[in-house]
Amino acid sequence: MKRIYVNEEWCLGCHLCEYNCAFANSGLKDMVEALKGKPIFPRIHIEGNEKISYAVSCRHCTDPICVKSCIAGAISNKDGVIVVDKNKCVGCMTCILVCPYGALALNENGVMQKCELCTRNSDGTPACVKGCPNNAIVFEER
Amino acid sequence: MKSDESKCVNCQRCVSLCPTRALKIVKSDCILRENCNWQNDTIREVYKQANSGGVLLSSMGNPKPMPVYWDKMLINASQVTNPPIDPLREPMETKVFLGKKPERIERDKSGNLINNLPAQIELTMPVMFSAMSYGSISYNAHASLARAAEELGIIYNTGEGGLHEDFYKFGKNTIVQVASGRFGVYENYLNAGAAIEIKMGQGAKPGIGGHLPGEKIVGDISRTRMIPEGSDAISPAPHHDIYSIEDLRQLVFSLKEATRYKKPIIVKVAAVHNIAAIASGIARSGADIIAIDGFRGGTGAAPTRIRDNVGIPIELALASVDKRLRDEGIRNNVSLVAGGSIRSAADVVKAIALGADACYIATAALLALGCHLCRTCQSGKCNWGIATQKPELIKRLNPDIGSRRLVNLMTAWKHEIKEIMGGMGINSIEALKGNRLMLRGVGLNEKELEILGISHAGE
Amino acid sequence: MELEGKIRIPSGCAIAAVISREGNPIPGNLISEAMRPMHDRSNGLGGGFAGYGIYPAYKDFYALHIFFDSRSTRKDCEAFIKEHFEIVKAEIIPTEKNRAITDEPIIWRYFVSPLKSTLADLQLDEKEFVVRTVVKINSEMKGAYVFSSGKNMGTFKAVGYPEDIGEYYRLGEYRGYSWTAHGRYPTNTPGWWGGAHPFTLLDYSVVHNGEISSYDANRRFIEMFGYKCTLQTDTEVITYIMDYLLRRQRLSLEEAANVVAAPFWSTIEKNRNIPERDKLIYLRTMFSSLLITGPFSIVLGFEGGLMALNDRLKLRSLVVGEKDDRVFMASEEAAIRTMEPNAENIWAPAGGEPVIVTLGEGVEN
């Protein structure tokens, strides 16, 4: 299955992936309208410092511990993509505690959200990958 | 958010990366009082020198409004009396071999032809990436050029900074340069490439050497240049073993001996006033290829006054060299490579028609890598990761992207060259070489036309 | 309007040729008549013929055919020739008045032999000396133009339609083992006799239909070797290229064809015969500036044979046919049928593949 991989060698820490993610998931057509003056809740996060940086997002584990930990049955494995049903999520944050990668977070409404490989919002290439100026985030089979 | 206009070099990095296209760089309207003679830049330069007492430095090619002869030459096309050829239907050949061609054929005892050709460079299209040293440009820029050259079946050039150990594997697509500083030159280096280039001069700074300050000679660069960390890398203006043409001949043959006559030798010279006579001398020196670099050629750093005032345009230099070598019957002794601001496929076609065997490009290649021609390479702070050695900037240039963009650019040019050739009814690049009937001048005076060896449009 | 040489004049054309493999004599009017059905391929602004084996009595002497614009030019030119050559015969070339042929120059022929002393002085071989003399007269002597300079062969050309020119020169009175013919369709010419074709140098003659796009690349290269392209025509430069490759470099006809109409690199790379492939790569690399591009069909005449060749894309028509000992070549089959209604094995040679016919041998293709 194609997954998102990051390569810290080329990550410039520019945070464009965060903006592209938040915009892609906003459902709006205009980035300024979607993001300007608002706190943003991307599903990918840049970690690191001035020397080294890298993007963190869900790795879509083959044996995802978040799915097992969910008390509401809101997280499921859909053909390999780990997805959240926000109607079922009760916001207990257990998944956040168990994820070894720190890939999950709450959205603006206090409900869990995570990277779903842009399966619900775009044309197949995740927005963070498409927008990365230095090929530091790739979407490929490994 | 604030910006400090005094520090902005107009590299356009911020503009390019902004996802909402919210930024634009505008010319400050805070300028000195207008004066046609004492222009803004001229006055600022005086202030700068009054402050520093130093020689002004600049980079990339001469930006002055000098004539660009490429733009005053027009290309022919077939109509009625002979047919244009459609490159989508018919083969259209761009392969060239650079190197000396013997005067006569030879046969063995049974009458078969003997291959008596000296070593040649084979190119899939008549364009090469010209010399840019490791040091003047980054590791990633070199990696991009080397990988693209390999994929394209063309050649890149190490420049005078030696060959990084990681790039020996691209040897057959590499020209190794021997310049006056002789940095990184040793036997394996000479034998590593497809050809050796003796750099006598550079179009952006004819008659001037180079100086890479000691603070840049660190780590890999020190190792590749084979000089101690922290020592200044000084390329003298002349080669101190070449004070005349017969000395050049000795170096040519020393290099040939060192490589057992398996590598063509290129002599690169800046286009200067008596370039035809110089080229004639080089053509008789044993060199296989002459590379001529015009005065608009780029540089990582050159004294401003030299860059803007020394040398001559490549178009005129190329035309007069090609003519002189033909007049003397020695054009086949050497191949000619023209460089110094070849900007497009049309420039390549015009250069070949004037008489070049191939072209060198560098500025166009850097543009493909992201350069926005802000002309501040000399600061070493290239925002695009090209002309810098700062790790955090170098990493901005991912060679995966860089090499792909170079391949794209050259592929596009190749398509365009084929289209233009097809229009002329020429289906092989060798039939374009020196084919000056395919060019006409516009807005040129008699003397310029005479030197270019072309007729005026309408004639 | 400017003469040939002052300006480059593209043209379309008709060509035809015939040879007897056994060297049997063929009267010149056969080839002249062959041009009649191709009348529309010419426009009356030039035509001509070359015949081989037509001067058996003077076969050891160079036959110089020369146009003069005046008696005084002829006198000067003759004096110049006499300095270095023995002239064994000098005469007016017989012609017959023809209503369609006008503005005739003075047309003479000289059977000559270079003086041994001159050759020794200049350390030149005989042929090279003749070539230099011809080039000198044509480029430097105003009003004189040598249009034929081979041994036991001759060129006959004029402004007009080829069939009229054949009658004008009384070609029926000549017998040769091979003939070539040309009818010209220049797009722009004042009609100068010297500009008509065939173009010849020594015993090489070229008739050509096409307009080559490589002209200036070829010209500027070949001029390095002492040739001067005074006419600025394709035919002239092709003749010089052939002379350079065949006489100076001593390439075989096939090798020369592989230079001027070199196979495409892609074709060469596919060649499984490694020595053959290497040879083709060598020839293309060595003589890259002699590759001819653009449309052409040519017939090269030389002592003892003919070679027909098309450009490598076959952008011009060329057909070949046979009957008994004779081989025919022409732009159109109609011309072949005029010479031999029962011609056999008519075929159109592929682009870049030479058809070579030599005396006493078969047809090589």
Report the CATH number at residue A25.
3.30.70.20
Min Cα separation B322/chain C (Å): 10
CA C87 remoteness from chain centre:
24
> Which chain C residue lies closest to B356 (C-alpha atoms)?
C217
Q: Which domain does A72 fall in, by range?
A: 63-114
A12 contacts B19? CB cut-off 8 A: no
Same domain, A74 and A48: no
Whether residues A31 and A75 share a domain: the answer is no
Burial per residue of C270-284, b for 16 or more beta-carbon CB atoms within 10 angstroms, e otherwise: eeeeeeebebbbbbb
**Which segments of chain C does DSSP mark as H helices, in order?**
28-34, 71-84, 116-122, 126-140, 162-168, 215-222, 234-242, 253-260, 265-270, 274-286, 333-339
Closest residue to B93, CB basis, from C10, C264, C292: C264
Q: Which residue of B has its CA nearest to A33?
A: B20
pLDDT value at residue C157 = 95
Fill in the DSSP letter of residue B112.
Answer: P
- Residue C322 sits at φ, ψ, to 5 deg, of -135, 155
Mutation for B interface: A38, A134, A140, most B CBs within 10 A: A134
A2/A47 same-domain check: yes
Q: Chain C within 8 Å of B106 (Cβ-Cβ)? A: no
State whether A12 and B22 contact (CB < 8 Å).
Answer: no
Beta strands in chain C (DSSP E): 11-20, 26-27, 47-52, 62-68, 85-92, 106-114, 144-148, 153-158, 175-176, 178-186, 199-201, 204-210, 296-302, 305-310, 319-323, 326-330, 344-347, 355-358, 363-364
Q: Which amino acid is at C122?
A: L
C78 lies in some domain: yes
In a domain, C110, yes or no: yes
- The CATH number of whichever domain residue C104 belongs to comes to 3.60.20.10
Interface mutation target, options B18, B23, B144, B395, chain A, most CBs of A under 10 Å: B395
Q: Which residues of B touch A136 (CB under 8 A)?
A: 398
- pLDDT, one tens digit per residue, over A52-98 is 999 999 999 999 999 999 999 999 999 999 999 999 999 999 999 99
Q: Looking at chain C from residue 107 to 166, which residues have their Cβ under 8 Å from any Cβ of chain B? A: none
Q: pLDDT value at position C192?
A: 82
Residue of chain C with shortest Cα separation from B116: C282
Q: How many residues belong to chain C?
A: 365
Q: What is the dihedral of CA B292, B329, C5, C284, to 10 degrees?
A: -80
Chain B positions in Cβ-Cβ contact with residue A20 (cut-off 8 Å): 19
Scanning every residue of chain B, which has its alpha carbon at the shortest distance from the alpha carbon of A130? B19
Closest to B196 in 3D by CA, of B249, B144, B143, B258: B258
Cβ contacts from A onto B, under 8 A = 28
Contact (CB<8Å) B400/A16 = no
C293 contacts B426? CB cut-off 8 A: yes
Which among C264, C285, C293 is the nearest to B425, CB-wise?
C293
Determine contact: B112 vs chain C, CB below 8 A. Answer: yes
Q: Which chains touch C (3 or more CB pairs under 8 A)?
A: B
d(CA C189, CA C232): 12
A12 Cβ under 8 Å from any chain B Cβ: yes
- Residue A57 CA, chain-centre distance (Å), reads 4
C253 touches chain B (CB under 8 A): no
Tokens 């008390």 sit on residue: A71
Cα gap B334→B313, rounded to integer Å: 21
Same domain (yes/no): A68, A96: yes
Residue recorded with tokens 């046609």? B36
pLDDT digit string (tens) for chain C, length 365 residues: 566 666 666 666 899 999 999 999 999 999 999 999 999 888 888 899 999 999 999 999 999 999 999 999 999 999 999 999 999 999 999 999 998 898 899 999 999 999 999 888 888 899 999 999 998 998 899 999 999 999 999 999 999 999 999 999 999 999 999 999 999 887 655 678 888 899 999 999 999 998 899 999 999 999 999 888 888 888 899 999 999 999 999 999 999 999 999 999 999 999 999 999 999 999 999 999 999 999 999 999 999 999 999 999 999 999 999 999 999 999 999 999 999 999 999 999 999 999 999 998 766 65
Minimum CA–CA partner of C280 in chain B: B113
Residue with structure tokens 């003796």? B198
Domain range list for chain B: 13-57, 96-108+117-456
pLDDT in tens, chain B (459 residues): 788 888 999 999 999 999 999 999 998 888 899 899 999 999 999 999 999 999 999 999 999 999 999 999 999 999 988 889 999 999 999 999 999 999 999 999 999 999 999 999 999 999 999 999 999 999 999 999 999 999 999 999 999 999 999 999 999 999 999 999 999 999 999 999 999 999 999 999 999 988 888 888 888 999 999 999 999 889 999 999 999 999 999 999 999 999 999 999 999 999 999 999 999 999 999 999 999 999 999 999 999 999 999 999 999 999 999 999 999 999 999 999 999 999 999 999 999 999 999 999 999 999 999 999 999 998 999 999 999 999 999 999 999 999 999 999 999 999 999 999 999 999 999 999 999 999 999 999 999 999 999 999 998
The reply to whether CATH 3.40.50.2000 applies to domain B96-108+117-456 is no
Touching partners of A (3+ C-beta pairs < 8 Å)? B
Query: Is any Cβ of chain B less than 8 angstroms from the Cβ of A9?
Result: yes
Task: Give the whole-angstrom CA distance, residue C164 versus residue C172.
Answer: 12
- CB-CB under 8 Å, C295 with B82: yes
Do the Cβ atoms of B112 and C279 come within 8 Å? Answer: yes
* Cβ within 8 Å, pair A135-B395: no
Distance CA C238, CA C208 (A): 9
In-domain check, residue C286: no
Residue B156's nearest CA partner among B8, B369, B326 is B369
Give the span between the Cα atoms of B414 and B5, in whole angstroms. Answer: 41
* C350 within 8 A of C310, measured Cβ to Cβ: yes
Contact B438 C216 (CB under 8 A): yes
Do A45 and A70 lie in one domain? The reply is: no
ipTM: 0.92
Chain C residue nearest residue B95, CA to CA: C265
Nearest to B69 by CA among B367, B377, B343, B381: B343
Give contacts of B392 with chain A, Cβ < 8 Å: 50-51
The residue of chain B nearest to residue C260, with distances taken between CA atoms, is: B431
Contact B398 A135 (CB under 8 A): yes
Q: How far is A12 from chain B (nearest CA, A)?
A: 7
Closest by CA to C290, choosing from C227, C198, C201, C205, is C227
Q: Is A112 on the interface with B (CB under 8 A)?
A: no
Q: What is the pTM of this model?
A: 0.93
Please indicate, yes or no, whether residues A93 and A110 belong to a single structural domain of this protein.
yes
Stretch (H or E) spanning B211:
strand B210-212
Residues of B in contact with A131 (CB under 8 A): 19
Residue contact A9–B395, C-beta within 8 A? yes
| Three-state DSSP class for residue C215 | helix
Angle formed by the axes of helices B399-424 and B139-152, to 10°?
A: 40
Q: Is B401–A135 a contact, with Cβ atoms under 8 angstroms apart?
A: yes
Q: Which residues of C are catalytic?
A: 13
* Model confidence pLDDT, tens digit, residues C160-201: 999 999 999 999 999 999 999 999 887 655 678 888 899 999
Distances (CA, A) of B293 to B99, B238, B346, C297: 18, 16, 18, 41
Contact C289/B at CB under 8 A:
yes
Closest CB to C285 among B117, B428, B436: B117
